[in-house]
Every structure is written in structure tokens, then in C-alpha cells.
């Protein structure tokens, strides 16, 4: 699995790059905002973006901000012309749709993707929350799609919590009482292929739980990525999946288990992926047991 870091913080990008595990970077307007805010004015954004591009020899996503296809195409061209010469690694992020309210046009994203793919500008289709959106993006010619699995897990967990009067914290986003039901009702094949406790299953979906545009067939963020993978396989799309909006090391692991090609992961979660209490305990005891004779050999 390729690992991208989901940040615009240059120190984090440089650090992850120095570890030898970094394959790319994803940014978005919120991540750029937080990098600029934390630099407290000590940042020239254009230079900062150039530095990011030079630091990583892999795709770096920069997002367009307009809501109409023409505006997005123009911004994508600007981003590509301005920054791609730096290290030939710019990918432009285009939302699957730019509707902010029910009834707004929801096809501007695919229109922009179609034009940009014909122009040879690589596109990462962002804000993908259901498999049908990924299918549309792939048909329009997106090079990457980014399913936001963490936001889907948050959403499902919060909806179920509301219905049950429970406040499920982030770390328990797969409540045990629900995973029990998976066992009882012996569900779909794919559920048994995954870590059972990684799935939220709602056996009696109600419309109240699934509002505007939602996909009743999706049971978790990982299930979303899995479904997109199956669809792309069925039709041999070249579009790559970037599992995005990852909140925990466990989600990152599940992405690898289901064979996501790429996961874009926040820096602190990448750090978490390497920690283990027993590794540290083991390290300490090995460290305590180094005898002088062995040290001497090593210092030769």
C-alpha cells in the first residue's frame, strides 16, 4: 500500500519523507489553512507549496476551490501550470460534486474531471462518500478517487449513537453490540472476510438514519473502500483509490487488509502505526542487556 501523508505542514512532510515510507501528499483548503495558521504569518504560500513538491517524489494533491466546472478547470490549469514544472508531481483535487445544499447542481465536478482528463491534467476526485460517486468519477476519467472513510465512520457512529442515546467515542467506532449482530445474523460474505469488529452493521436501516443522498448499502468507511475496489475491478478502471480521512491506525490497517492501493494518513496516525508497548518493552530489555564485550565489537 502506498502511503501518502495528509497534511500541508512542511515539517511533517519532511519528517515522513526522511523515514523512507512516503509515496505522496494530499492537501486540501483546510489543511493549507491550518499550516498557514500554525506558521503564524511566517510563510509564503507559493514557496511553501513549491517546497512540498520538491520534498516528495510522488503525487501531491492541490485542491481547486470554485464550485462551477469552468472555474475549477481554470484553477486546475493555473495550479498545474504554476506548480507542475517544480517536480512534475501535481495532481489537482476536484470534488465529486460541489453542491452545498439539496437541489444545487451536482454535476459540476464530473464535468470538470472530464475536461481535465482530456487535457492530461491528473485529477484526484475528492469528497467521495459513496461507491456510485466513485463510479462516476472513474467514468469521467479521474486518475484517483478519495473515499473519505473516516467521515463515513464518524457519521454512522454518530447516527447510531443518536438513535440509541449513546455517545460512542472515536476509538470505539465499531460498537461491540452491533458487531454481535453481524455474527447472529450471519451476513454477507464480505463481512466475514474482514475483521468482524471493524464493521458497523445496521440490520434494519431506517430512512431517518440515511438522509440526503446517502447510500444504505454501506456499513462502514472500510466497506466503502471495499465496494469501490470491487466496482473498479469489475470494469477494469485504471482509477486508483486513495483511502482518505483516516483517523486511526486501525483504519489504516484495515485499508491494507482489503488491498487499498493508497492510504492518505495524518502524520500522527502514521506515527501510531509504528508504536507498540511490547516493542518498547522489548527494546528496553535488549538495551539493558548489552554487555561490554558486545559493545566493544560494535565500536570497532
Q: Between residues 95 and 191, which has the closer beta carbon with respect to ligand E4P?
A: 95
Q: Between residues 28 and 97, which has the closer beta carbon with respect to ligand E4P?
A: 28
Going from the C-alpha of 6 to that of each of 27, 35, 98, 133, 148, the distances in angstroms are 6, 12, 21, 21, 12
Q: Between residues 84 and 146, which has the closer beta carbon with respect to ligand E4P?
A: 146
Contact predicate 31/269, CB 8 Å: no
What is the smallest separation between the CB atom of 246 and ligand E4P, expressed in angstroms? 7
Rounded distance, CA 53 to CA 25, Å? Answer: 9
Extract the runs of DSSP E, i.e. beta strands, from the chain: 2-6, 24-26, 60-63, 90-95, 123-128, 144-147, 240-243, 262-265
Q: Between residues 133 and 264, which has the closer beta carbon with respect to ligand E4P?
A: 264
Rounded distance, CA 82 to CA 96, Å? Answer: 24
Question: Does the protein bind ligand E4P through residue 244 (CB under 6 A)?
Answer: yes
Q: Is 111 a catalytic residue?
A: no
What is the smallest separation between the CB atom of 256 and ligand E4P, expressed in angstroms? 16
Among 12, 13, 28, 219, binds ligand E4P (CB under 6 A): 28
Question: Does the protein bind ligand E4P through residue 146 (CB under 6 A)?
Answer: yes
| Rg, the chain, Cα only | 22
Among 98, 150, 240, 250, binds ligand E4P (CB under 6 A): 150
Question: Does the protein bind ligand E4P through residue 109 (CB under 6 A)?
Answer: no
User: What phi, psi does 40 have (nearest 5°)?
Assistant: 50, 55
Q: In 3-state terms, what secondary structure has residue 151? A: helix
Among 56, 130, 264, 270, binds ligand E4P (CB under 6 A): 264
Sole residue written with cell 454481535: 180
Going from the C-alpha of 144 to that of each of 70, 93, 94, 113, 241, the distances in angstroms are 20, 9, 10, 11, 6
> Using CB under 6 A, which of the segments 26-34, 81-89, 187-195, 251-259 binds ligand E4P?
26-34
Question: Does the protein bind ligand E4P through residue 89 (CB under 6 A)?
Answer: no
Question: Does the protein bind ligand E4P through residue 227 (CB under 6 A)?
Answer: no
Q: In 3-state terms, what secondary structure has residue 62? A: strand
Sole residue written with cell 548489552: 290
Q: Between residues 24 and 131, which has the closer beta carbon with respect to ligand E4P?
A: 24
Among 69, 245, 251, 254, binds ligand E4P (CB under 6 A): 245
Rounded distance, CA 107 to CA 220, Å? Answer: 25
Cell numbers for 14: 519532511
Among 3, 23, 26, 194, binds ligand E4P (CB under 6 A): 26
Neighbours of 102 (CB within 10 A): 9
Question: Does the protein bind ligand E4P through residue 239 (CB under 6 A)?
Answer: no
Q: 14, 54, 82, 93: which one is catalytic?
A: 93
Question: Does the protein bind ligand E4P through residue 62 (CB under 6 A)?
Answer: no
Hey, which residues are catalytic here? Answer: 93
Q: Which residues contribute to the site for ligand E4P (CB under 6 A)?
A: 6, 26, 28, 31, 126, 146, 148, 150-151, 244-245, 264
Amino acid at each position: 500500500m502506498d502511503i501518502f501523508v495528509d497534511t500541508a505542514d512542511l515539517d511533517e512532510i519532511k519528517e515522513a519523507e526522511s523515514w523512507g515510507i512516503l509515496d505522496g501528499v494530499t492537501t486540501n483548503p483546510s489543511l493549507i489553512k491550518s499550516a498557514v495558521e500554525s506558521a503564524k504569518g511566517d510563510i509564503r504560500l507559493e514557496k511553501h507549496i513549491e517546497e512540498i513538491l520538491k520534498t516528495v517524489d510522488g503525487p501531491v494533491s492541490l485542491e481547486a476551490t470554485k464550485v462551477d466546472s469552468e472555474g475549477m478547470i481554470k484553477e486546475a490549469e493555473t495550479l498545474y501550470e504554476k506548480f507542475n514544472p517544480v517536480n512534475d508531481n501535481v495532481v489537482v483535487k476536484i470534488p465529486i460534486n460541489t453542491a452545498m445544499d439539496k437541489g444545487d447542481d451536482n454535476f459540476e465536478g464530473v464535468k470538470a474531471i472530464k475536461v481535465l482528463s482530456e487535457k492530461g491534467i491528473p485529477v484526484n476526485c475528492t469528497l467521495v462518500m459513496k461507491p456510485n460517486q466513485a463510479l462516476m468519477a472513474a467514468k469521467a476519467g479521474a486518475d484517483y478517487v478519495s473515499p473519505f472513510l473516516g467521515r463515513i465512520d464518524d457519521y454512522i457512529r454518530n447516527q447510531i449513537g443518536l438513535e440509541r442515546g449513546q455517545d460512542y467515542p472515536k476509538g470505539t467506532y465499531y460498537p461491540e453490540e452491533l458487531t454481535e449482530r453481524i455474527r447472529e445474523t450471519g451476513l454477507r460474505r464480505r463481512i466475514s472476510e474482514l475483521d468482524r469488529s471493524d464493521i458497523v452493521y445496521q440490520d434494519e436501516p431506517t430512512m431517518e438514519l440515511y438522509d440526503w443522498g446517502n447510500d444504505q448499502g454501506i456499513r462502514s468507511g472500510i466497506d466503502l473502500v471495499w465496494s469501490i475496489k470491487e466496482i473498479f475491478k469489475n470494469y477494469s478502471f485504471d482509477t486508483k483509490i486513495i483511502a482518505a480521512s483516516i483517523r486511526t491506525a486501525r483504519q489504516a490497517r484495515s485499508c491494507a487488509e482489503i488491498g487499498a492501493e493508497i492510504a492518505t494518513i495524518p502524520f500522527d496516525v502514521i506515527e501510531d502505526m509504528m508504536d507498540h508497548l511490547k516493542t518498547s518493552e522489548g527494546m528496553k530489555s535488549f538495551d539493558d542487556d548489552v554487555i561490554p564485550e558486545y559493545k566493544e565489537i560494535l565500536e570497532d
